[in-house]
Structure 1
Amino acid sequence: MGNGKADERGQYGAARPATMRLARVHGKGDMRIDEVPVPKIGARDVLVRIGATGVCGSDLGYVAGGGLGGDAELLEPLAIGHEFAGTVEQVGDEVVGIAPGQRCAVNPDRGMIGGGGGTGAFAPFILIPDARAEQDICFIPDTLPFDRAALAEPLSVSLHGINIGGVTPDSKVVVLGAGPIGLCTVICLRHRGVENIVVADLSDARLERARALGASVTINPGRERMVEKIGQAHGTGERFGMPFVGTDVFIDAAGSPKALEDVLDVAKFRAQIVIVALHKKPVPMNLWKMMANEFSVSGSIADDRKDEFLECLAMLASGSIDVSPLISHHFDFDRLEEAFETAANVDGSAKVIVTFPQAA
């Protein structure tokens, strides 16, 4: 379904500019808006005109750390932005099942978009190499706004963790952290029919959003005994003289060593602990308790989640769950620096969305 050797005109016939602005990291604390050529497509590629891109915590981390993390030296500027949706602008001759004008969200996994793959979504256009319909380019209805469609990426991160944890509608679940991924986890738990959801976070503003999205109990460990409150919500017991709480699945979306240590200490027989958060330091674990209670600790990075991405898009398109409390701010691309500053404010923001003008 390619469009032949496309010229430099967009889907509406308007001439595309030769260059565009692209957000890239040049070093620690050094994010710049660089002027770069608008990508030219190959035979199997698709060019997408971006409508909305979400600011992820990893984007903030890339800027603060000056790269992808670890000891790797930044050899060239790092393009960032991986939560996005827009409109197919141009299609290569050999692309099948994709046509200009189709609205889509893009699964960034295969091309490592915004995470070292050379392309990033804080720009008006993005090249999707070797594009595949409903795998990389995932179509959305006209009724689904771009800002909502861009949520499919963080939602699918959360859904992947839920799947790893084996959550069922009857599960008693604790979510550590009510940042964007923690809030996305609440949404996905609701989507899967879970009602017994406890959320813990140090920010009352974020806990308020968690309640608005469907958390049944919220806990602020800064002034409440977290384990005691979890026990009140999920029940308590004792095994081999060790107290436990009745939680079936703990999902760590906080990255707090203290909170994780606390739940590891009271995990029940065959409980599941899923680590979605990025922990920057090792966390000690009592392996005797792990052995005696046969609980499992699993990581979840969500780098191969086509089905989960599509499921989240379908959920968003259906409108079955009101996700509006998740989005706290919208900023035009011209205000990108302000968008990042706002996203870094834990109490003052949740998911921050950057928007781009669409061709008339």
Structure 2
Amino acid sequence: MSTMKSVRTGGVGKIDVVDVERPVPGPKDALVRIRACGICGTDATFLHMGGMPARAHLGGDMIPVALGHEPAGEVVEVGAEVDGLEMGDRVVVNPQDAPTGIIGCGGRYGGMSEYLLIENAEVGRSVAVFPDTVPFDVASLNEPMAVARHCVNRSEAKPGDKVVVFGAGPIGLGAAIWLKLRGVEHVVVADVIPSRLEKALAVGADAVIDSAEEDVAARLTELHGRSANALGQPRPGTDIFIDAAGVPIVFNTVVNSAKWGAKLVMVAVQKKGSEFDLGGMLRSELTLVASQGYPTEIFEVTPELVEHQERFAKLISHRVPFSEAERAFELALTPGAAEKVVVTLDDED
């Protein structure tokens, strides 16, 4: 039996690098040698919990999760019934297409492994091929950039709109990139970490706001002009607010800043509940739009990721070899220590 190394949750806040059986592809499957895999906030959630709850009939205890849902790699085996894939093809993966469960999110397989089985492999559905001009680490951004793209699609932002993105993590910065590539007139990014605001400007944001130091509403009024809510109270002229931060203060800031007919798109998970000013929403007729995952965007983004790879590459703050996976997850779990961590799997790993 051939084995491979794979990362899964250990105890609370810890990972285990374990030896597991290397998958053997069937006639409809493909085997991908993983070359890069990003670490996401969802991975951090599993680590904070120490796994995921088992089903009630199994006792409800936490069970390990095979981690990694942002993989990129190269095809090393192809089943006889698979069309459109060849050995050596470089691919990104749709983790939600696996029949044995979402890759890296409770499914049988995780992308933070030396090899990944693509079950019922189909180009355009479970995988997409990308050219060798794109580094694997940049290609691994495909999945989170699909999340960011869906958020922008849900916003229905038009070129003449004025937009602010709260949260300059990978999703927020990805949303800023997509907004500018969409031709949106003015995009602001707000965060509390100065280095992230510098990154926002580097990827194309028109302006930034340090929300720990600046009055957000006053600064937005400077940037987007003055408007009003339904009662005529002065408000910034911002058309669309995007919450990629997931903290209650952002929601409340938006409600207090929204003009009549503004829109709030929520892509970040609210980790803690809070009391919201529903009356404030009413006074602005604020539209709340939720954005979850990437129903159609997972491979729609791939050609543009290829075309604009230099811009997207700026999102990666740390590239860590697989042999130092524990350090990679420590970086990702330490607030403010990293922006986007990608684990690389090269020959020497």
Give the structure-1-normalised TM-score.
Answer: 0.89
Which residue identity lines up with residue 123 of structure 2 in the other structure? A
Query: 2:10–2:64: 8 Å Cα contact kept in structure 1?
Result: yes
- Cα distance, 1:265 vs structure 2: 2.1
Q: What percentage of aligned pairs have identical amino acids?
A: 40
Which of the residues 98, 101, 104 maps onto 2:91?
104
Counterpart position of 2:224 = 234
Please state whether the residue corresponding to 2:281 is helix, strand or coil.
helix
Query: 2:51–2:63: 8 Å Cα contact kept in structure 1?
Result: no
Which residue identity lines up with residue 223 of structure 1 in the other structure? E
- Cα distance change, pair 77–134 in 1 and its aligned pair in 2 (3 A): same
- RMSD, aligned CA: 2.1
Counterpart position of 1:4 = none
The equivalences for 1:11-160 within 5 A come to 18-68=2-52, 73-74=60-61, 76-111=63-98, 112-160=102-150
Distance 1:214 1:25 in 2: 36
Which residue identity lines up with residue 317 of structure 1 in the other structure? V
Query: 1:27–1:74: 8 Å Cα contact kept in structure 2?
Result: no
Query: 1:80–1:115: 8 Å Cα contact kept in structure 2?
Result: yes
Counterpart position of 2:239 = 248
- Cα distance, 1:46 vs structure 2: 1.4
Counterpart position of 2:312 = 323
Distance 2:255 2:283 in 1: 12
Is the aligned partner of 1:263 residue 2:250?
A: no
Distance 1:358 1:185 in 2: 34
Distance 2:293 2:23 in 1: 27
Distance 1:45 1:71 in 2: 28
The equivalences for 1:294-333 within 5 A come to 294-305=285-296, 308-319=297-308, 322-333=311-322
Query: 2:168–2:200: 8 Å Cα contact kept in structure 1?
Result: yes
Which of the residues 220, 234, 242 maps onto 2:210?
220
1:35-81 C-alpha deviation (Å, 9 max, x unpaired): 10001112222111111111112112211122348998455321010
Which residue identity lines up with residue 68 of structure 2 in the other structure? G
Counterpart position of 1:10 = none
**Aligned positions, number:** 341
Query: 2:51–2:62: 8 Å Cα contact kept in structure 1?
Result: no
Distance 1:179 1:314 in 2: 22
Is the aligned partner of 1:337 residue 2:326?
A: yes
Which residue identity lines up with residue 77 of structure 1 in the other structure? P
- With 344-353 and 175-184 compared, the bigger mean Cα shift is at 344-353
- Unaligned residue ranges in structure 1 (runs of 5+): 1-16
- Unaligned residue ranges in structure 2 (runs of 5+): none
Query: 2:74–2:90: 8 Å Cα contact kept in structure 1?
Result: yes
Query: 1:109–1:303: 8 Å Cα contact kept in structure 2?
Result: no
Query: 1:205–1:347: 8 Å Cα contact kept in structure 2?
Result: no
Query: 1:26–1:76: 8 Å Cα contact kept in structure 2?
Result: no
Distance 1:336 1:290 in 2: 44
Query: 2:53–2:62: 8 Å Cα contact kept in structure 1?
Result: no
1:300-354 C-alpha deviation (Å, 9 max, x unpaired): 111423xx22232111211376223211111110001111122234434211111
Which residue identity lines up with residue 153 of structure 1 in the other structure? E
